[in-house]
Amino acid sequence: MRILGAEVFEIEKGFVRRSICTDGEVISVSSGDGKIMDAEGCFLIPGLTDIHFHGCMGEDFSDGSPEGLQIIADYELSRGITQICPACITSPESALIKMCENAAQFKSKSKSGAELVGIHLEGPFLSAAKKGAQEASWLRTPDKALFDRLQGASQGLIKQVSIAPELPGAMDFIREASKSVLVSLAHTEADYETSLAALNAGARKITHLYNAMPPFLHRAPGVIGAAFDFLECRAELICDGIHIHPSAVRAAFHMFGEHRIILISDTMRAAGMPDGEYTLGGQEVQVRGKAATLKDGTLAGSVTDLMGCLRMAVSMGISLSAAVTAAAVNPAKALGIYSYTGSLENGKYANMVLLDENLSIKAVIFKGKIVENGKYFH
């Protein structure tokens, strides 16, 4: 396929008007089948990677349901998210094992939807004082043996673990776990020194910067200040227009630079669904408009999707190229999949999204095939 006339996203250069070809599953110098797509006036960007979301379309990854995970993967792909690394919510071990086994099954059998590139273990190793919408009764102190059992059940699919570094045993856990997975600091009361020690021990990311952690204060900069000072540390940012004020989103991009910010959606099962009553990790959630909250008003995930977050970031004054870098390039680098996806370079999978001038999706292309309702055909 030859795509003509689009403004094509290029690393460092931003957008360049040029044609792009696909041959079979990959981006190529020449077109395989000679088909032509007219993309005049459109933006062509890499497929996005959401490394932190819980569900959508009434389904939650933590349910451990094969049909549910397929619905999630199909919906995400239809929204231009070509790679997914869904997150669990704090749950009993039996539920986490079921979720891990379900993901491993999906990985080996699925024939449609976004590519499952990993699992994000968000909990149970989190602080009760900053639990957010995590169920307190299932929180645990860091336990490498439990982590290993879950990793075994997932057949190695766990790629990220979120942890509060002030918990007993956290530093040893971080040192060990970071040898094989990305460790992210989350749901924490840690001060600056503890956070910096965790980064030196091997943590390399902050889970939903600002949310469920102390604020950045001039004499107590906390985890946010430590993350800023540690140049190899990336920071997730929920950009749904609810979780973080636009000024704080702009500040984060300026502080960290566009190459260290990872946009995430943190969606729960009501994403793509009407207002109503839902659940998250066994707790009741009310969805009204763009906000999902527990009974006490605590935010309980978002109801947008990562493409919606990209659009929201642009509406807040972030450049389109910076927003694409944060939603496509950086998450792929963080998960170690950038060698085959996350940018529009020859030889990589032809995973891309065509957006019109309003950033609405005109077409999603996955491994060189045009996606319809999340379905593609091998």
Q: What is the largest CA-CA distance in the chain?
A: 62
DSSP string, 280-343: ETTEEEEEETTEEE-TTS-EEEESS-HHHHHHHHHHTT--HHHHHIIIIIHHHHHHT-TTTSSS
The pair of three-digit structure tokens given for residue 349, joined into one six-digit string: 């999978």
**Residue 368 and residue 24 in contact, taking contact as beta carbons nearer than 8 Å:** yes
**Residue 118 and residue 157 in contact, taking contact as beta carbons nearer than 8 Å:** yes
Helix (H) or strand (E) holding 144: helix 144-153
**Residue 305 and residue 295 in contact, taking contact as beta carbons nearer than 8 Å:** no
**Residue 95 and residue 127 in contact, taking contact as beta carbons nearer than 8 Å:** no
> In the beta sheet, which residues pair with residue 236?
262
Residue 37 DSSP SS3: strand
- Are β-strands 59-60 and 55-56 bridged in parallel, bridged antiparallel, or unpaired? antiparallel
Helix (H) or strand (E) holding 120: strand 119-122
C-alpha pair distances (Å), 340 with each of 21, 68, 157, 367? 16, 27, 18, 11
The residue among 134, 128, 135, 125 whose CA lies nearest residue 165 is 125
d(CA 352, CA 200): 36
Q: Is 266 a catalytic residue?
A: yes
d(CA 34, CA 293): 50
Q: Hey, how many other C-beta atoms are within 10 angstroms of the C-beta on 168?
A: 9
Q: Choose the catalytic residue: 266, 275, 296, 356.
A: 266
The amino acid sitting at 44 is L
d(CA 252, CA 239): 11
Length of the chain: 378
**Cis ω before 124 (30° cut-off from 0):** yes
Which residues have a catalytic role annotated? 266
